[in-house]
Structure 1
Amino acid sequence: MNDKQKNPPALRRKPSQTRSREKVELILGCATALIARQGSDAMRMSEVAQNAGISIGALYQYFPDKTAIVRVLAQRYNQEARECIEQCLTQVKDFPHLIAAFGCLIDEYYALFMAEPVMRDIWAATQANKTLREEEVAESRLNGALLAAAIRRLRPQADPVAVENAAFLLMHLGEATMRLAVSTGPDEGRELVESYKQMAAKVLADA
């Protein structure tokens, strides 16, 4: 079974015309507003259709179920984060700069999740669905590849397999740390983030 069969596209019908793309954006905007107000667990497809001013049949033309909506929103947040990571890491010139830049990325990510209830909700929903969990691991692998590329550029003599493994692990542990940090109080959450940053700095220094 190939990856496409295992994880079919989130969108049932890919919008090709401007009107269709606008409708998808409208649906996602309404879903985001509902999630912000009541959470994805309480959100109903009928509510999304009603708020978007479309029929439930029109909604199902694009999204087969609520999970598909959450999946597209998660993919968008992940893409934005990956672009930010790539832009930051391609500019590092030495290991002190890399460690500082990685720490800044963690701080920004944590602040974003603390400020965005929709992102926190979608992240929690990701953990309850096997397909979404698999996509989260795949995303950690992609982000890890970006970090590994930066490490190899600065230290070309390093063992590439060890670098890739360390980078993948750092990125996935970063996701787990964020999830734990936002579930605790802000003081403890910040301490957890700082502890992770110190651990990551040691791993990067030895990479």
Structure 2
Amino acid sequence: MNEIAPIVPESGDRDAAMRKEPTQRRSKERVERILSCASTLIADNGSDAMRMSDVAEKAGISIGSLYQYFPDKGSIIRTLADRYNALGRECIADTLKNVHDMNGLQASFAELIDIYYALFLAEPVMRDIWSGTQADKALRDIDLLDSRLNGAVLADARARVNPVADRAFLENSSFLIMHLGQATMHLAISVDPTEGAALVDGFKRMVLREMLTA
């Protein structure tokens, strides 16, 4: 997977934002090194086992320097979650931006589902972060905001396909579709891969049928 570009968390007071906003090149490079080392530790042993001292040691900085940028382990994880979600939103927007008919909408959405599922299977850090969503209110808030933003992009594409459709319905149903899609991915990576693939395929077929009715 390509390296994730720096993203500023969207909610201003959430502690996913770093305690010390890096303004100089050296500080930004240090933040990227911290996040890269944290990702490696999560991929190796999971976020539950990751300690701030481990991150500092792997990044080659003092624990005090680490706390200047991230107040706790949760802030590191939520920053990574924000970045993965931003990458996903970019992918969704890019895939749906040229949709203008129902065939194109269905084909593009089906492709998105396949891309997302492949990312979850391939990215241990993404799997770990999303598996902990229900236990962390801040992560749930990030998850909800991501569903809402992605739902708005889907609603725009559906409105282009059917300009006379009720906009409120499109927005509500698209928000629901995206949130259920995230829940489907959570479930799919928690079961046997064969069953997981069948669940993802079932969700895809249900959504494509729904799109034909609106």
Q: TM-score with structure 1 length normalisation?
A: 0.96
CA shift digits 1:31-50 (9 cap, x unpaired): 01100110000000000000
Matches within 5 A, 1:31-70: 31-70=38-77
CA contact (8 A) 1:181 1:190 kept: yes
Task: Determine the C-alpha separation between the residues in 1 that align with 2:134 and 2:147.
Answer: 14
One-letter code aligned to 2:155: A
Partners of 1:161 and 1:117 lie apart in 2 by: 37
**Does residue 206 of structure 2 align to residue 199 of structure 1?**
yes
Alignment of 1:77-88 (within 5 A): 77-88=84-95
Deviations 1:120-142 (A, max 9, x none): 00111222110110111011000
Contact 1:177/1:193 (<8 A) preserved? yes
Q: 1:177 aligns with which of 177, 181, 184?
A: 184
Q: What is aligned with 2:23?
A: 16
The equivalent position to 1:109 in structure 2, one of 106, 116, 128, is 116
* Stretches of structure 1 lacking an aligned partner (at least 5 in a row): none
Cα pair 1:166 1:203 within 8 Å, conserved = no
Structure 1 residue 100: Cα displacement: 1.2
Q: Does 1:95 align with 2:111?
A: no
Q: Specify the code of the residue in structure 2 equivalent to 1:131.
A: A
Letter in 2 for 1:158: A
TM-score normalised by structure 2 residue count: 0.93
Q: What is the rounded CA distance, in whole Å, between the counterparts of 2:70 and 2:15 in structure 1?
A: 12
SS in 2 for 1:47: helix
The size of the alignment, in residue pairs, is 204
Partners of 1:148 and 1:167 within 8 A in 2: yes
Same amino acid, percent of matched pairs: 56
